[in-house]
Amino acid sequence: MWKDSNYSYSNTIGYIRLSDTTTICDSPTTSNRETQLVEHQVGAVYAMGKVSFTEELKVFFSFELPDCDAFPTFVGPSRVIDRREKILTTQVDLPPLTWIPTEEERFMRFTDGLIAPHRATQATEVAGMDGKKDKRMAAENRIVVPSITSSQRLQLIPSMDHKPDNYEDMQSEFSPLLFSSLERHLPPTLLNLSRDHKAHYMRQILLRYSPTAERARVQKHREYRQKIISNYQPLHRELYTMHAASFFVPSFLKAVNENTEKSFRSIVSEPFTGVLTFEMLQPRFCEMLLAEVENFEKWVRETKFRVMRPNTMNRFGVVLDDFGLETMLDKLMEDFIRPISRVFFSEVGGSTLDSHHGFVVEYGMDRDVDLGFHVDDAEVTLNVCLGKQFSGGELFFRGVRCEKHVNAKTQSEEIFDYSHAAGRAVLHHGRHRHGARATTSGHRINLLLWCRSSVFRELRNHQKDLCSWCTECQREKKERQRQCVAAIKLVGATEKRRSYYVAV
């Protein structure tokens, strides 16, 4: 635990999490004013150093490490490590805020397993296949580094045997799901407090991750939804709560009920690595949802309501969460998509999906015709065709890419096209680059659920090497290994030649 009263700081202090595997002597050392403390916890190590600010609002940490064999691997945006001197300095970019820390705000948290809320919903368009760059609308999911008092913290390791409270009926700017998943990360002494106390504690922490502008946006969106929900009359009320037996086909239900890798593999085809397809929705459910969407669109036209479209790339289609389907879709994600994703997409937070963006996209000659090449603002995307009659509209996939490599060239082995069929789901990595070809006749309407994991996003902000799933990262790594092997071989061959000459 932090014991800040034990130390007197002359200046602003920050702390950084080092990698979990690091072993550092945990006795505090104080040499040359800069080293303050190295704290050791199970699964997390914190090191602390003097912080100074430059004009560009950058923080510099520098501290001497205590004498020990293991050298920490730094987990942070940038690092400079000098092994010989045992000096570790790093530079951490801060968001461009006029952030002037007060005495109480001496602590900045860079990582602690804390869960950050999501930003606005945007697909990121990627360079077209002709190599031309479309305008790029990157989803800004960078963590905002707030000030923090040392007393309010979450635990990195969740209390898995604790059953969290239900926060559904609680009025808050944060999702009830977020509270439920955070609750396991509360310090053990708080777990048995009243729901209100726990919510208050978690809210204080969440607020630090949610800047004022973001909170205003969330508030506006809540009002927007409220306006719709209090005026729109649903057509099929039975859609608004989960009725699994009438929504899903029996094979899908059976696999989810069994909830084993084997059961999922028995219903899933993987026509291309990372693209899973399976029968999912009953025709009756598809019909009802199509009728509900039509009914909603009719209401929008009649009332001239200024409706928000699903994302930056669609001019048609509606956000299902905005007119009352959020709870049902939450259930869909939690009870059906998360179990499958746990098996097939664990490397991108498949088992910790905790929020979603649910919408339908509509294509046809009088609607959007096609959809440009992009990645989703999602860890895992569910895309199910609801019908109706159409031709064309194939999904094209072109390789999974991390942020850094989103525009990297497509390799021939990454090309895959998929034709939609009504009721059949496609589940793919959100960063699997894709687009939809022109729907050449009829209408095509698809249900999309962009599923996100705040835990994964939080970790991604701090761990650079969380991209094992990016095919370009893999390719670069292989290339480095190849060069390394070639260099070793060359050295070996030179040595051999030299010893031959010596022998001769």
Ligand X SMILES: O=C(O)CCC(=O)C(=O)O
Binding site for ligand X (CB under 6 A): 123, 361, 371, 376, 383, 395, 434, 436, 446, 448
Q: Of 292 and 376, which CB lies nearer to Fe ion in the complex structure?
A: 376
| Distance, CA of 203 to CA of 194 (rounded, Å) | 14
Q: Which residues inside 235-294 make contact with Fe ion, applying CB under 5 A?
A: none
Q: How far apart are the C-alpha atoms of 362 and 319, rounded to whole Å? A: 12
Is the distance from CB of 449 to CB of 340 less than 8 angstroms? no
- Picked from Fe ion, ligand X, none, the partner binding residue 361 (CB below 5 to 8 A depending on kind) is ligand X
Q: Which is nearer to ligand X, 286 or 371 (CB)?
A: 371
- Residue 376 in contact with Fe ion, rule: CB under 5 A: yes
CB 378, CB 357: distance < 8 Å: yes
Comparing CB distances to ligand X, the nearer of 320 and 448 is 448
Which residue number has the CB closest to Fe ion?
376
Cis peptide leading into residue 388 (ω within 30°)? yes
Q: Assess contact for 227 and 322: CB atoms under 8 A.
A: no
Q: Which listed option, Fe ion, ligand X, none, makes contact with residue 175 (CB within 5 to 8 Å by class)?
A: none
- How far apart, in whole angstroms, are the C-alpha atoms of residue 416 and residue 413? 8
Is the CB of 326 or the CB of 376 nearer to ligand X? 376
Q: Are 379 and 454 in contact (CB under 8 A)?
A: no
Minimal CA–CA distance to 291: which of 371, 227, 387? 387
Closest distance of CB 343 from ligand X, Å: 22
In the complex, least distance from residue 426 CB atom to ligand X, rounded to whole angstroms: 8
**By CB under 5 A, residue 362 contacts Fe ion:** no
Stretch of residues binding Fe ion (CB under 5 A), selected from 6-14, 80-88, 139-147, 373-381:
373-381
CB of 361 to ligand X, least distance (A): 5
Q: What is the nearest approach in angstroms of Fe ion to the Cβ of residue 106?
A: 43
> Least separation, in Å, of the C-beta of 417 and Fe ion?
15
Burial class (CB in 10 A: 0-12, 13-18, 19+), 33: exposed
Position 377 contacts Fe ion (CB under 5 A) = no
Q: Is 125 in the site for Fe ion (CB under 5 A)?
A: no
Closest separation in Å from C-beta 115 to Fe ion:
24
Sign of CA dihedral 170, 176, 179, 183: positive
Contact 73, 22 (CB under 8 A): yes
* Closer of 158 and 387 to ligand X (Cβ): 387
- Residue 395 interacting partner from Fe ion, ligand X, none (CB closer than 5 to 8 Å by kind): ligand X
* Integer Cα distance of 191 and 166 in angstroms: 13
Give the containing element (helix H, strand E) for 395. Answer: strand 395-400
DSSP class of 404: G
Site size for Fe ion (CB under 5 A): 1
Residue placing its CB nearer to ligand X in the complex, 329 or 436? 436
Rounded distance between C-alpha atoms, residue 329 and residue 451, angstroms: 10
Report how far residue 33's alpha carbon sits from residue 37's, in angstroms, rounded to the nearest whole number: 11
Nearer to ligand X, 109 or 433 (CB): 433
8 A C-beta contact, residue 69 and residue 60: no
Q: Is 379 in the site for Fe ion (CB under 5 A)?
A: no
The distance of closest approach from Cβ of residue 333 to ligand X in the complex, given in angstroms and rounded to an integer, is 16
We find the least distance from the C-beta atom of residue 381 to Fe ion, in angstroms, to be 6
Q: Which is nearer to ligand X, 383 or 454 (CB)?
A: 383
Radius of gyration of the chain (CA): 26
Q: Which residues sit at the interface with Fe ion, rule CB under 5 A?
A: 376
